[in-house]
Structure 1
Amino acid sequence: MLLCNRWIVILGDAGSAKTSLLRWITRSFAESILKGHTHVVLEGDDRIPVRIPILIRIGEFASWLKQYPKKTLIDYIGEHTWDSKLYYHDDNKNVLKEIIFYGHALILLDGLDEIVDVRQKREIVDLVKNFVAEYVHDPDFFSAFDDEMFSKILINGRYHDFVETKSPSTSGGNQILITSRIVGYQLHPLVGTSMCHYTFLLMNDSEVKKFMGKCLSSIEKKILEILLNEGINLDHKLLKTLSKRKGDVVKALLENNLELLSNPCLLSLICTFIFQSCDELNHKSRVEVYDHAVQVALRSWKSHKSNIPEIVLHNFLINLACYLHLNSPSGLIDEFDAKRLCYLTLQQQNLSDDHKILRDYANELTSLLDFNIGIFAERGLKVFGFLHLSFQDYFVAQALVKGSVEEVAKRILTITIHPRLHESLLLAFGWIAWKWPFDDYDRFCYLLVTLSTEYSIPFGTILFFDALNGIQSLPSNSVIFLALNNILDHSYYPSRTAYLISNLLKLPENIIMEWMQTNLTEEKRLSNFCQCLLQNAEKS
């Protein structure tokens, strides 16, 4: 990818390791520079010239831009931070700009999806485009957005246009890599003649096994190293017993949860759980994995013997996640705002009427956040944030599922159009399917798919099908049939053809057959379905 393409966009779902990849690339290039190498070795014998890596969180750029609305991305470079920590030494702040001007930089922009405000996202995408057009060229000054320099090449008997640009495998010219979640990207995409897009695929069976083997081996090695340094020697028989129990847990997981294990973030959490307890892990959905991690963290909180009840901490984290989602593209909050939000949460919980006591509690709670409980921690000097964006999504989901069935359905339906909340919506749906009584869950699904018919696009029905892969159990057949009919009958939904067939195939065969037998009796509906089948067959 880096060897062949100068302008790269990487798309992936939450937890697919987009940020981890950029950090690994940054480290690999930085280590090669420190060792005085002229090239970075990629896979096998592939080598690419060393460029100076400049890693930028787009969320932090968005926060900075609110203070300096007339500035651009090139102005931010040299001023930029990562988790609120300066990326450079003060006396070198202009060096990075000089490196870009001379074409020796690898610019890595992480998290194009983290912008909450739609207008600001459009502005930032435009700023990124302008930056790429002005500063990221090949040695012949060709840009990703130029539409000239086409040549013809014969492929399978047909001539195709292709662009002649110099590969980044030769020295000269900057290179850029941008990441974003898939959902919402198409609203403001980076489209250019030479802009190459890649999408992270889920890991397959062999990759999951390889990942788990390496991760578990690494954790075990580190634990034994710590114990040995402390002079603690574990009995070999005990180690063998623990290893067998761990192996049994892994085997059961691989047999029953391969779809869940295909996400790197979830798989990393599950590997950690295996070392925390060798008890059987029965997680069937992503929300269960995150909930397990939260419960483990809350047990750690109890060990501090704080005067603040666990439920208050939980509600504070919910309020904090909602605040960050709506107000902080960087996902960070300073100590002053954290204390203020904590004070308001304590007030809501009626912990005390005494302002001094509430302030003391707020100070105690925020000071304990300095201790890493595994969810939320100090990311910089008196600056806090969730350790992973998925935990922030989880607590926003907790806020969404509060209230009656009708309140929750209406609340969720009103925010389905916001791409930034999509992951939280899926987790909220998963929570409802997991925790609510079946009748309430079924009623919620019914409201979601029936209320959405009032819109020109059936957002509730679309969310219902998007959530199918992350839920434990399906609602009643009658609700599923309503949802399928909504898509099939909706005359204004442009992607009906591909969307209906792809989601129909997610369902068990007996449900598909029953729907076809009972709902394709009307001539118009049957005609629509046949058109969908034919158009889908032509595309494939």
Structure 2
Amino acid sequence: MQMHGHDSTSSDDDSDDVVKKKSKTGNNNNNNMDESLVAGSTRMPILIRVGEFAQDLPKESDLPLIDYIGYHTWMGNRMIDFSAEQKKEKQRSQLKKLQQALHDYIKLGYALIVLDGLDEIPESEKRSRVVRLVEEFVDSYVPTPKHVTVLDSQFSDRELDIPFQAGGNQLIITSRIAGYHARPLNGQFSHYTILRMQIDHMKEFVDHWFQTVHQKMNEVLQLNISSEAIKQKCEVQTDAMKAQLEKFKDSGLGLMASNPCLLNFLCLIAFHTPEAELPAERICLYDRIAKMM
């Protein structure tokens, strides 16, 4: 699996740097794999926010990543929806069973672990601890078929880094470019950068954004506006927004709009101030975004 990415807050030179890391793996036997299935064997996805893992780290000791899996959260929520009536003991029992099941997938080499937001740890000391714990997890649970990892000096054959051929566990770690280099991972991880959206993709995003927002407003507020009226309203706003993107595509505005997250904020600004022209300078755009939050 190859993933590409960019950080619109960085300079043009930074855009070629790393934002995603993927360690290749493979400790399971693929002799029975159907070669027509180029995606390889099915893996259990395990999605973890690095920031939440860091928050759960004890102050005086470490929490191995393998022990956190199963008890991990996403946006503060456990992987199991517990009813209000369930007792704590019952909840702990179910989480323990979940952890055991996920550990079984990892031990068999059928897991895809995604660690999201390595750069979202502001404290340098804790960031170093988390990076070390991730590296220890890779060293123990993400080996190649030759039983080496990206942390070993013997790891040099890039052809091994093909998931559907190598098999085994796979690990993807995401990070913004600007935040990654403060404490990068050691070893020979593969690095990929997400490509910026081009102008045609930005315009498609704008069309979808305004159409979705107007439809949701009509439903939630029960405005009873006809589909044709919504379409006409959207066309007025999207045409104005797309004209600005085209006009300033080579400026700070165009650079920000190439990032889906930031383009979402730009659409929000345009939605609330349809008559005003978006500023072309990034500092002015960030100021407008900050005032809206």
TM-score under structure 2 length normalisation = 0.71
- Counterpart among 195, 204, 227 of residue 198 in structure 2: 204
Residues 286 and 82 (structure 1), Cα distance of their counterparts in 2 relative to 1, 3 Å cut:
farther
Distance 1:245 1:205 in 2: 17
Letter paired with 1:100:
I
Residues 163 and 215 (structure 1), Cα distance of their counterparts in 2 relative to 1, 3 Å cut:
same
Residues 118 and 170 (structure 1), Cα distance of their counterparts in 2 relative to 1, 3 Å cut:
same
Distance 1:64 1:175 in 2: 24
The alpha-carbon deviation at position 115 of structure 1 amounts to 1.9
**Paired position in structure 2 for 1:87:** 79
Q: Which has the larger radius of gyration?
A: 1
RMSD after superposition: 3.5
Instruction: Answer whether contact 1:106 1:174 (CA < 8 A) is retained.
Output: yes
- Counterpart among 267, 274, 279 of residue 278 in structure 1: 274
Unaligned stretches of 5+ in structure 2? 11-18, 21-32, 81-93
Instruction: Answer whether contact 1:14 1:181 (CA < 8 A) is retained.
Output: no
- Mapping for residues 187-226 of structure 1, pairs under 5 Å: 187-193=182-188, 195-223=189-217
Unaligned stretches of 5+ in structure 1? 16-20, 23-37, 40-44, 151-161, 297-374, 376-540
Letter paired with 1:129:
E
- Mapping for residues 417-428 of structure 1, pairs under 5 Å: none
The alpha-carbon deviation at position 233 of structure 1 amounts to 3.2
Instruction: Answer whether contact 1:142 1:165 (CA < 8 A) is retained.
Output: no
Instruction: Answer whether contact 1:253 1:281 (CA < 8 A) is retained.
Output: no
**Paired position in structure 2 for 1:261:** 257
**Paired position in structure 1 for 2:7:** 12
Q: Secondary structure at the match of 1:202?
A: coil
Q: Secondary structure at the match of 1:278?
A: coil
1:51-97 per-position Cα deviation (integer Å, ceiling 9, x unaligned): 11111111111111135623211111122112221124524232222
Q: Which has the higher contact order (CA 8 A, sep 6+)?
A: 2
Instruction: Answer whether contact 1:269 1:289 (CA < 8 A) is retained.
Output: no
Runs of 4+ in 1 over 6 A off after TM superposition: 8-11
**Paired position in structure 2 for 1:307:** none
- Mapping for residues 135-534 of structure 1, pairs under 5 Å: 135-148=141-154, 162-165=157-160, 167-170=162-165, 172-193=167-188, 195-223=189-217, 230=222, 232-234=224-226, 236=228, 240=232, 243-256=235-248, 257-293=253-289, 295-296=291-292, 375=293
1:310-338 per-position Cα deviation (integer Å, ceiling 9, x unaligned): xxxxxxxxxxxxxxxxxxxxxxxxxxxxx
1:460-513 per-position Cα deviation (integer Å, ceiling 9, x unaligned): xxxxxxxxxxxxxxxxxxxxxxxxxxxxxxxxxxxxxxxxxxxxxxxxxxxxxx
Residues 210 and 239 (structure 1), Cα distance of their counterparts in 2 relative to 1, 3 Å cut:
closer
Letter paired with 1:114:
E
TM-score under structure 1 length normalisation = 0.41
Letter paired with 1:104:
Y
Q: Does 1:107 align with 2:113?
A: yes
Distance 1:86 1:202 in 2: 33
Q: Secondary structure at the match of 1:279?
A: coil
Letter paired with 1:53:
P
The alpha-carbon deviation at position 263 of structure 1 amounts to 2.3
Letter paired with 2:141:
Y
Report which of the two has the higher share of helix: 1
Residues 49 and 217 (structure 1), Cα distance of their counterparts in 2 relative to 1, 3 Å cut:
farther
Residues 191 and 61 (structure 1), Cα distance of their counterparts in 2 relative to 1, 3 Å cut:
same
The alpha-carbon deviation at position 235 of structure 1 amounts to 8.3
1:393-442 per-position Cα deviation (integer Å, ceiling 9, x unaligned): xxxxxxxxxxxxxxxxxxxxxxxxxxxxxxxxxxxxxxxxxxxxxxxxxx
1:331-363 per-position Cα deviation (integer Å, ceiling 9, x unaligned): xxxxxxxxxxxxxxxxxxxxxxxxxxxxxxxxx
Distance 2:200 2:270 in 1: 19
Q: Secondary structure at the match of 1:116?
A: coil
Q: Secondary structure at the match of 2:150?
A: coil
Identity of aligned residues (%): 32
- Mapping for residues 39-58 of structure 1, pairs under 5 Å: 47-58=39-50
